[in-house]
Structure 1
Amino acid sequence: MFDCLVVLSGGLDSTVLLIDSISRYPKVAAVSFDYGSKHNGCELPLAKSTCARLGVDHKIIHLPFINALFSSTLLASGEDIPNGAYDEPTMKSTVVPFRNGIMLSIAAGYAESIGAAKVLLGSHAGDHFIYPDCRPEFNLAFAEAVKLGTDAKVVIEFPYSMLDKRDIGDLGRRLDVDFLATWTCYKGEDIHCGTCGACNERKYALRKNQGMDPTVYRN
């Protein structure tokens, strides 16, 4: 039996959420998804090592059909990741159709199976304009669907939905999160590129302009 199941990508937001959840709940589990993104190979080893270090039960679920069938620059099968700001014009090509809906459906079923009363996802306010399945309307509707579909055995919560990424970075700093044990860059190279929208948002979140970001960037 677990108090909650955290959807853990290995990125900044979900890692902060995991450590935040450990401070709030006695028994926390985590689930990650390998869906063929360009940066899964960078994120997932960090998710695995973080859970091992913290003693968190962790499962990785493979979803190869997403990379094989879906269209997005975020996927290994897609075109190059664009550079630029973390905004709708730059990032719209990185949308993976209904990704959160698919992953949350699986997480809800897994949570019910292991007796976890909550599923937690770290999507934030900065995602609202870019990703349809991160918006408040989606969150409310999906949470209600999971409540109905599990006879209220599982609830879905989005604790950071009204925070921006800098708020999450600041919270992570207060929680002593090792930001070097998180990955953000969408290009999935050996170090963060420093030019894609995700990297630019990471710089903002970790206050690089104030000298507080420990991340090594190529640019």
Structure 2
Amino acid sequence: MTPPDSASPRPAVVIYSGGMDSYTVLHRALRDGYAVHALSFHYGQRHARELDVASQVCERHGIPHQVVDIRAIHSLIGNSALTDSAREMPKADYAEDNLADTVVPNRNMILLSLAIGHAVNIDASICFYGAHCGDHVLYPDCRPAFVERMNEVAAIANFSPVTIEAPYLHSDKATILADGLEMGLDYADTWTCYLGKEKACGECGSCRERLAAFAALGVSDPLPYDH
């Protein structure tokens, strides 16, 4: 996708959770000259603290931002450790056999459908989200085949076609982090842990992947951890 002319920036929707990946995608879109409209969703996630982080970042940088409350559908997609606090959160690296309980059914299709609708509503022709290759082993809605099919649908679902861009689809977490650090980003302005406590747990799959990325680059993670 060719970035817009800086003299007349085109609007773009960024699905912005408040985590590392979407934070980097958000700033990459800003760097490339898009007029960003950030869109966050409260779907009943236990780590809803990420939404507060997202709101603070957008307010600080003057980025138009909406937090959409879709908790009414919780009973339809609540069969996950990410949305059911009664379940124990798996403490392991990402793998299909030990973190399947963190899959939220159809989450990205739902969020992308709403984001595409918002894009059409504001005359934006592009929608960004932060899928990356580290998610491919576990999350079907972060895989290239999903993005390809969703793009096919997004091209015909409305009179105004929308392109879905996942700029880190084939990149790992360390590559995303390296790109963000090169842009001068402060990852203290992100929340990754699947538990929304005062400190990150350091043990869930999301924390472990984040810590591994910082370790791979020889950089200290600015977030405080319980473990």
Match of 1:199 among 200, 203, 207: 207
2:195 matches 1:187: yes
Cross-structure match for 1:98: 106
Cross-structure match for 1:68: 75
How far residue 76 of structure 1 moved from its aligned partner, in angstroms, is 3.6
List per-residue Cα deviations over 1:130-164 (Å, max 9, x = no partner): 00111111110011101111234311111110001
Cross-structure match for 1:119: 127
- More helix, by proportion: 1
List per-residue Cα deviations over 1:74-95 (Å, max 9, x = no partner): 1045512110112222221100
How far residue 67 of structure 1 moved from its aligned partner, in angstroms, is 2.5
Cross-structure match for 2:5: none
Cross-structure match for 2:39: 31
For residues 153-164 of structure 1, what are the structure 2 equivalents within 5 Å?
A: 153-164=161-172
Aligned AA for 1:57? P
Query: Contact 1:38–1:187 (CA<8 Å) still a contact in 2?
Result: yes
List per-residue Cα deviations over 1:146-201 (Å, max 9, x = no partner): 11112343111111100011100111111111111100000111110011111000
Give me the CA root mean square deviation: 1.6
Query: Contact 2:82–2:103 (CA<8 Å) still a contact in 1?
Result: yes
Greater shift in the superposed pair: 55-64 or 69-78: 69-78
Q: Distance in 2 between matches of 1:101 and 1:78?
A: 25
Greater shift in the superposed pair: 191-200 or 67-76: 67-76
Gaps of 5+ in 2: 1-8
Look up the SS of the partner of 2:156 in the other structure: helix
Query: Contact 2:12–2:34 (CA<8 Å) still a contact in 1?
Result: no
Query: Contact 1:9–1:32 (CA<8 Å) still a contact in 2?
Result: yes
Look up the SS of the partner of 2:56 in the other structure: helix
Q: What percentage of aligned pairs have identical amino acids?
A: 38
Query: Contact 2:39–2:68 (CA<8 Å) still a contact in 1?
Result: yes
2:170 matches 1:170: no
Q: Distance in 1 between matches of 2:174 and 2:164?
A: 23
How far residue 55 of structure 1 moved from its aligned partner, in angstroms, is 1.2
Query: TM-score under structure 2 normalisation?
Result: 0.91
Aligned AA for 1:160? Y
CA 202–213 in structure 1, closer or farther in 2 if over 3 Å, else same: same
Query: Contact 1:37–1:67 (CA<8 Å) still a contact in 2?
Result: no
Aligned AA for 1:92? A
How far residue 26 of structure 1 moved from its aligned partner, in angstroms, is 3.8
2:150 matches 1:145: no
